[in-house]
Amino acid sequence: MEKQTFDETGLQNLLNELYALPNQELSEQAFALRNQPKLWIYGHFELDSDQTSFLQHMPNSAADFLGQQGGFAIENRLPVTINKIHSPKRSSGEEPKQDKIFKPTSNLSVETDSNGISTAGGTLILEITYHDQP
């Protein structure tokens, strides 16, 4: 699989490749994401220096949460999107120094019936918000 940029276009390209895999291979990818989320991200996305630094400093609890949610979404071929929210430019036109907030949110769900058949649903949204620093 070719590495993709970590943006909405790159994510959708990666998901198209992943979701075309046979179930067993897709399950292996989801397992890898659940168990080593940072390594999986490094292996699938072409990160710039700021993104690499952010991922390196991401607490393990946040990476593990992302891995669990992402693994579930991918294994079940559910929608995953990136939503970047930028602060407006200052009136002077200069780019403000910004702090990045990464917040994966979802409405992922699973239901099962008395025959043991389960159905997964929902969407995972990777929200990235940039806030101006004083």
pLDDT in tens, 8-52: 999 999 999 999 999 999 999 999 999 999 999 999 999 999 999
Mean local confidence (pLDDT), 61-88: 93
Tokens at residue 63, please? 């990476």
% of the chain residues with pLDDT over 90: 81
CA dist 103 and 126 (Å) reads: 6
> What local confidence, expressed as pLDDT, does residue 89 receive?
59
Contact present, 56 and 110 (Cβ < 8 Å): no
Amino acid identity of residue 123, one-letter, is T
Q: Please return the burial class of 25, using the count of CB atoms within 10 Å of its CB with bins 0-12, 13-18 and 19+.
A: exposed
The percentage of residues in the chain with a pLDDT greater than 70, rounded to a whole number, is 90
- ∠ CA 79-82-87, nearest 5°, is 155
Average pLDDT over residues 71-86: 95
Handedness of CA 36, 42, 47, 52 (dihedral sign): positive
Give the per-residue pLDDT at 1.
87
Residue with token string 């699973």 = 110
Distance between CA atoms of residues 49 and 8, nearest Å: 18
From CA 76, how far away is CA 57, in angstroms rounded?
A: 29
Rounded to an integer, what distance in angstroms lies between the CA atom of residue 42 and that of residue 127? Answer: 19
